[in-house]
Structure 1
Amino acid sequence: MMTFLFALLTIIFLYYSSNLLLSLLVLEMLGFMVLFYMALNLSVILESDFLILSFFSVFVMEGVIALSGLIMLVSFTGSDYVSSSSFSKL
C-alpha cells in the first residue's frame, strides 16, 4: 500500500515538476524501489545465487546512475540549470 502511495505521489510530482534532471532522479529512485520490491518477493520463492547476483548488479547500476545524476544536479552553474529545467528548451 505504501509503495502504491509513493508511486502516486511520484507521478503527481513528475507531472507538475519543471526540473527535468530532478524528475529523472525521482524516476530512477522509483525504478530502484520497484526492483527492490521484486527482488524481495522473488527471493522468498526462488533462492538461487544467479537471481541474487543479477538483482545486486541491477541495484549497483541504478545507484551509479542516480549518483551521477545527483552530482550533475549539484555541479550545474546557474545558466546550465536554467537551460535544463524545461522540456521545451531541449
Structure 2
Amino acid sequence: MNKLRSLFVMGTALVMSLGTTAMAQAQYYPPPPGYYHHHHDWHAGDRYYGPRHVIVHWRHYRLPPPPYGYVWVASGPRFLLIGPGGVISRVW
C-alpha cells in the first residue's frame, strides 16, 4: 500500500510539473512595434487555406443554402462558400 501511495504522489507531482511547464510556454507576447495584420481580400476562384470556421446556421446570417459538398466559412467580416477542393466559389 505504501508503494502504491508513493507512486501516486510521484505521478501527481510529475503531472503538475508538466502542467506548469506548458503554462509557462503558452504566455501571450504582444506584437512587435510596427506590426500590421493584413486581412486577405478573397475572390471567387482563390484557394482558401485559412482556418475552417464553418457556418452551420447559415440562415441566421441570411446566406443562401450551400450546395451539397460545399460549406460556408467565416473569414474575418466575410463569408466564403468553399468547395470540396478548397476553392472559393462565392464571397459574401
Q: Is the pair's TM-score, using the shorter chain for normalization, greater than 0.5?
A: no
**Which protein has greater RCO, CA pairs closer than 8 Å, 6+ apart?**
1
Query: How high is the TM-score relative to the length of structure 2?
Result: 0.29
Question: Hey, which of these two has a bigger chunk of strand by percent?
Answer: 2
Larger radius of gyration: 2
Question: Hey, which of these two has a bigger chunk of helix by percent?
Answer: 1
Query: How high is the TM-score relative to the length of structure 1?
Result: 0.30
